[in-house]
Amino acid sequence: MSRSRFVGAPLSVQCATAGVVRDRSWVWLPGHLGALTRWVPPSLVDEVVEAAGRGQHRVRLLPSRVMVYFVLAMGLFTDCGYRRVWAALTARWPRWAVADPSAAALRQARRRLGVEPLALLFSRLRGPMGTAGTLGVFWRGLRLVAWDGTCLEVADSEANVARFRRHASRTTRPAGFPQVRLTALIECGTRAVVDAVFGPQQYAEWPQARALLPSLKAGMLLLADRGYDGYEALRDAAATGADVLWRVQSGRLLPVIDALPDGTHLTLVTDRRSGDRLTRWMRHGRRGPMPANLTALTLRVISYQVTQCGPDGTCRTSTVRLVTTLLDPERHPADELAAVYHQRWEIETAYYGLKVTLRGADRVLRSRTVDGVEQELFALLVLYQASRRAITEAATSAGIDPDRLSLTIALHTVRLTVINASTSDPAVLAAILVDARNLAPSRRRSRTSPRCVKRTLSPYAYNKTKGSVGRKTTVTVTITLTGGSNTAEPP
C-alpha cells in the first residue's frame, strides 16, 4: 500500500529490501505543527538542524526534523507523556502508516537532537512583529517595548538542583523545586518576544537584562520598573539609541537642574562617586558652580499621583516617579508619558501567556537534565512566538488591536489542527481568532489584584492566599503632575 502522502517538503528516500524498492517518505509524516507550520515550516527546521550540526546522512525512523516538531509538540501537550504526544502528531494516519517508536526511543532521539536546533529556531523567530498598520504598537512614532524577569519551576532532579538551585531565604525553608530565571524583552503592542535569556535562579535581573541590550534599537521606547533604576543600567540602555521611560525608587537623588513649564524637570543621574559630590554641593546651598566632570546622565523627571477609588468608597493614593530620555515637554507631553508607562504591564500578561496559558498553571518543566530543560524552554518560547505571530497577522489584516485576540483560543485551535494534521489553510485559524464572539472587549475592565503569596512554602499558611483573586471594581485614576524635589536622599 502506498505511503506517499506526507506533510512538509517532499523528500524521496528509497531502500531496497529483498529486491523490492520501498518508498520511505512516510517517516516525515509527523513533521508538522498543525496551523503553526506556516510560521515554523520544514525548510526552516531543516536549516537550523543543519546549522546546528544535527543533519543526518541516512534517514532514520525518527529524523532530526521530526524530532524538532516532537519537542515543540511537547510544549503544546504538556500534560501528555512521550507516547501520547507522538499519538497527537500521528493521529490523522492509520497506525501502520507511520513509525511507532517506544518512549525510550523518543527520549534517546530527543537527547540526540540537543539544544542548539531549538535555540537557533528561536533566534530566527524572535523579534518585533508590529507594523505601521498594527494598532497599539507605536506611540508618537516610538515602538513600545518592556523588559522584566520571572522564574519557572523545573523538575526536582539532582542535575537540575545543582545547576539551577532552589529559592530559599533566611526565614523559610528551600522551595520544593529548582527554578530558572527568565528575562525577556517584549513588544508591548503585540506581546511578542523581541529577545530572551535565562539561567539559574540566583542570577540577578540586571546582568541578564544586559545581554538583551543588542536587541534595543533606535526608535524604541523601553519601559522598566524600579528594579532597573541604577545608573549603569540607564546609561547602557540609553547608549543603544533607544529611549527609556523607567520608574525609579522614591529615595533616589533627582535634583532639579532645570525646571520645565509642564511641571517636570531635568535632572542628573550619577554613579556613586559623582552622586556624593553632587549631594555635598546641594547640601551647601549650591554655592559656586556645579562640580565639574560628573559622570552623569541627563534625564527628565515626571512625578505624579495616582488615586484609585474602589466600589466600597475607599481610596488609595500613590506617587509614581519616572525618568526618561525624552526631554522635550512639547513633543512628548508628560501626561501621555504617564499613561504610556502603564503599558509596561503587558510583559506581565505575556509571562502569564507563557507560564500559564501555554505551559499550564502550576506545572513544572518535565525535563530532568539541564540540556533537556534548556531545550524545553526554547521550545516554549518558539511556540509562544509563533502563536503571537499568527495573532498579530490576523489582527493587522482585520484592523483590530492584537490585545483583543485570545492566546487561549489560538492554542486550543492549534492543538486541534496538530491532531488533524491540518496545515494547508492557515486562514481558518485567523478566521477563528477574529470572530466577534472570540474577541475581548475593546476597553478592558477595571480590576484589582493585591500582591500576595499564591504558592506558600508552609502547608498551614493558607490564609496568605486570601484575596489573591482579581476583583472587578470601578477605578477612578487621576494623574496630577507634582514637579520635583531638591531634598531627596542620595542613592
What whole-number distance in Å separates Cα of residue 394 and Cα of residue 373? 32
pLDDT of the residue at 176: 81
Mean pLDDT, the chain, rounded, equals 84
Helix 370-398 with 407-420: angle, nearest 10 deg: 110
Helix residue ranges, H only, 183-295? 205-210, 231-239, 272-283
- pLDDT > 80? residue 266: yes
pLDDT of the residue at 306: 82
Query: At 303, is the secondary structure helix, strand, or coil?
Result: strand
Q: Return the H-helix or E-strand segment holding 153.
A: strand 142-153
pLDDT-wise least confident of 50-59, 136-145, 166-175? 166-175
The full set of domains in the chain, from first to last, is: 126-301+330-399+482-491 (3.90.350)
Query: CA quadruple 5, 10, 12, 17: dihedral positive or negative?
Result: negative
- pLDDT > 60? residue 12: no
Helix 370-398 with 116-125: angle, nearest 10 deg: 20
Letter for the amino acid at 461? Answer: A
- Spatial neighbors of 56 by CB under 8 A, at least 6 apart, are 63, 64
What whole-number distance in Å separates Cα of residue 410 and Cα of residue 431? 11
Mean pLDDT of 71-95: 95
What whole-number distance in Å separates Cα of residue 296 and Cα of residue 332? 22
Instruction: State the Cα torsion 117-120-122-127 to the nearest 10°.
Output: -170
| 286-329 pLDDT per residue, tens | 666 677 777 788 999 999 888 777 767 778 888 889 999 999 99
What whole-number distance in Å separates Cα of residue 423 and Cα of residue 33? 8
- Spatial neighbors of 300 by CB under 8 A, at least 6 apart, are 260, 264, 265, 266, 267, 323, 324, 325, 326, 327, 329
Distances (CA, A) of 264 to 209, 279, 413: 28, 21, 49
Distances (CA, A) of 382 to 21, 90, 128, 195: 38, 21, 14, 11
Other Cβ atoms closer than 10 A to 81: 13
Region of residue 54 (phi > 0: left; psi between -120 and 50: alpha; otherwise: beta) = alpha
- pLDDT > 80? residue 43: yes
